[in-house]
């Protein structure tokens, strides 16, 4: 079994040469993974550093481990990809976030679009974001990320567009695009460090939203002749970008 990985948090602290794990994280190690003294864990700071530690004690109170070495965590993709995801219904967002983290997406921005079906008031939005960020942490621990991707608060599409700056590449995934495929651009344009991918909700982008995204500098691109569901399109586009410009598919 691969050495379990935990990101530092209020439940996983580095104190001197010890890693102290409490709460749900400790329960996961002691009860779900049944780790006992002598077993090893990796604690990560989410900024590229990792500490290997050997468990000294593991019980319902918590897990205490002694650091045996520090090293660089797995490298992050060379491309910082932000997925601006038109808010989708319920568990679709959970799936999108989990898979986006595994692919190597750096940031997920849930966008409230004209045709978004779900409406999140501030409190629901806060609770959803907390849930989504927890999914991102768990996915990052599982897949071996060196950092935890950020799930931003749900926001209006226009707010996400205001993040576009010169030097950033932005793709608007639009099934109505007839001239340019994502592949055309990836094969011909030099890559940039920061990439944004805009995906519409289940009902798609309105014509006004396509215009606003284009005016803000996002390039409309087709993903091909088939209409992909919202939970498929962003992941496919992220994978294509990270394959062409990132580390996906590479040693």
Stretch that binds ligand SAM, among 44-52, 64-72, 155-163, 171-179 (CB under 6 A): 171-179
One of 139, 140, 223, 239 touching ligand SAM (CB under 6 A): 223
Stretch that binds ligand SAM, among 25-33, 37-45, 90-98, 219-227 (CB under 6 A): 219-227
One of 168, 228, 244, 248 touching ligand SAM (CB under 6 A): 228
Q: Assess 175 for contact with ligand SAM (CB under 6 A).
A: yes
User: Do residues 51 and 69 touch, judged by C-beta distance below 8 A?
Assistant: yes
Q: How far is the CB of 176 from ligand SAM (least distance, A)?
A: 8
One of 173, 218, 240, 241 touching ligand SAM (CB under 6 A): 173
Q: Assess 235 for contact with ligand SAM (CB under 6 A).
A: no
Based on its alpha-carbon atoms, the radius of gyration of the chain, rounded to whole angstroms, reads 20
CB atoms within 10 A of CB 16: 8
Q: Return the residues of window 177-216 that contact ligand SAM according to CB under 6 A.
A: 199-200, 202-205
The helix or strand, by DSSP H or E, that contains position 221, with its residue range, turns out to be strand 219-221
Name the residue with the smallest CB distance to ligand SAM: 200
Q: How far is the CB of 95 from ligand SAM (least distance, A)?
A: 14
The terminus-to-terminus CA distance of the chain in angstroms comes to 21
The Cα 169–Cα 79 span in angstroms is 11
The Cα 58–Cα 243 span in angstroms is 41
Query: What values do phi and psi take at 210, rounded to 5?
Result: -60, -45
User: Do residues 148 and 136 touch, judged by C-beta distance below 8 A?
Assistant: yes
Give the footprint of ligand SAM on this chain (CB under 6 A). Answer: 173-175, 199-200, 202-205, 222-224, 226-230, 233
């Amino acid at each position: 079994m691969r050495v379990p990985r935990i990101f530092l948090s209020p439940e996983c602290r580095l104190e001197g040469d010890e890693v102290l794990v409490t709460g749900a994280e400790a329960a996961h190690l002691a009860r779900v993974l049944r780790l006992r003294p002598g077993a090893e864990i990796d604690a990560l700071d989410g900024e590229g550093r990792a500490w290997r530690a050997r468990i000294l004690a593991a019980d319902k109170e918590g897990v205490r481990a002694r650091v045996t070495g520090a090293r660089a965590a797995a490298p992050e993709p060379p491309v910082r990809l932000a997925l601006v995801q038109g808010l989708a219904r319920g568990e679709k967002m959970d799936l999108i976030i989990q898979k986006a983290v595994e692919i190597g997406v750096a940031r997920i921005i849930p966008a409230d679009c004209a045709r978004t079906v779900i409406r999140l008031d501030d409190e629901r939005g806060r609770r959803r974001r907390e849930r989504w960020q927890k999914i991102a942490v768990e996915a990052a621990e599982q897949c071996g990320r060196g950092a935890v991707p950020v799930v931003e608060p749900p926001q209006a599409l226009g707010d996400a567009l205001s993040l576009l700056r010169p030097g950033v590449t932005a793709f608007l995934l639009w099934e109505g695009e007839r001239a340019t495929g994502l592949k055309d651009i990836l094969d011909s344009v030099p890559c940039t460090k920061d990439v944004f991918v805009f995906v519409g909700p289940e009902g798609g982008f309105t014509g006004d939203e396509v215009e606003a995204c284009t005016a803000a500098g996002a390039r409309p691109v087709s993903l091909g002749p088939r209409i992909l569901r919202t939970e498929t399109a962003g992941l496919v586009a992220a994978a294509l970008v990270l394959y062409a410009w990132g580390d996906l598919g590479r040693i």
